[in-house]
Amino acid sequence: MTTTLSPKSGSHLHIPTTEERAVKKRKARFYDKPGWLTYGLLGAFFLGAVFPLWWSFVMASRQASDINAVPPVVIPGPNFLENVVKAFQTVDFAKALINSIIISGTIAVAVVFFSTLAGYAFAKLGFKGRDPLMIAVIATMAIPTQLGIIPLFMLVSELKLTNTLGAVIIPGLVSAFGVFFMRQYLVDVIPDELIEAARVDGASMWGTFWHVALPAARPAMAVLGLFMFMAAWTDFLWPLLVLGPKNPSVQTALAALNASGGHTPDYSMVLAGAIISIIPLLILFLFAGKQLIAGIMSGAVKG
Partner 1 sequence: MSTLDARRTGSRLTFRQKLANFDYKASPYLYISPFFLMFAVLGLFPIIYTVNVSLYNWDLLKGQGDFVGLDNYVTTLTDPFFWNAFGNTISIFLLSAVPQLIIATVIAAVLDQAIRASTFWRMSILLPYIAAPVAVAVIFTQIFNQFGGPITGAMEALGLEPIRWGFDPFPSHVAIATMVNWRWTGYNALILLAAMQAIPRDIYESASLDGAGRARRFWSITIPMIRPTMIFVIITSTIGGLQIFTEPKLFDGQSNGGSNRQFQTIVLYLYEMAFPRRDFGRAAATAWILFLIIILVGLINYAISRTIASQDIKRNIRLPKRAAVNANGARR
Least Cβ distance, residue 136 to partner 1 (angstroms) = 8
3-state helix, strand, coil in the chain (%, to 5): 75, 0, 25
Assign 25 to helix, strand or coil: helix
Q: Are 287 and 226 in contact (CB under 8 A)?
A: no
Pick the closer one to partner 1 by CB: 49 or 81: 49
By CB atoms closer than 10 A (0-12, 13-18, 19+), residue 20 is: exposed
Pick the closer one to partner 1 by CB: 4 or 68: 68
Pick the closer one to partner 1 by CB: 6 or 204: 204
Angle at 42 between CA 39 and CA 43, to 5 degrees: 85
- What stretches of the chain adopt beta strand conformation (E)? none
Q: Are 149 and 237 in contact (CB under 8 A)?
A: yes
Least Cβ distance, residue 239 to partner 1 (angstroms) = 10
Least Cβ distance, residue 205 to partner 1 (angstroms) = 4
Pick the closer one to partner 1 by CB: 41 or 81: 41
DSSP string for residues in 225-279: HHHHHHHHHH--HHHHHH--TTS--HHHHHHHHHHTTTTS--HHHHHHHHHHHHH
Least Cβ distance, residue 206 to partner 1 (angstroms) = 7
Least Cβ distance, residue 195 to partner 1 (angstroms) = 12
Pick the closer one to partner 1 by CB: 8 or 24: 24
Least Cβ distance, residue 167 to partner 1 (angstroms) = 11
Pick the closer one to partner 1 by CB: 108 or 170: 170
CA gap 270, 84 in Å, rounded: 9
CA gap 130, 48 in Å, rounded: 46
**DSSP letter at 88?**
H
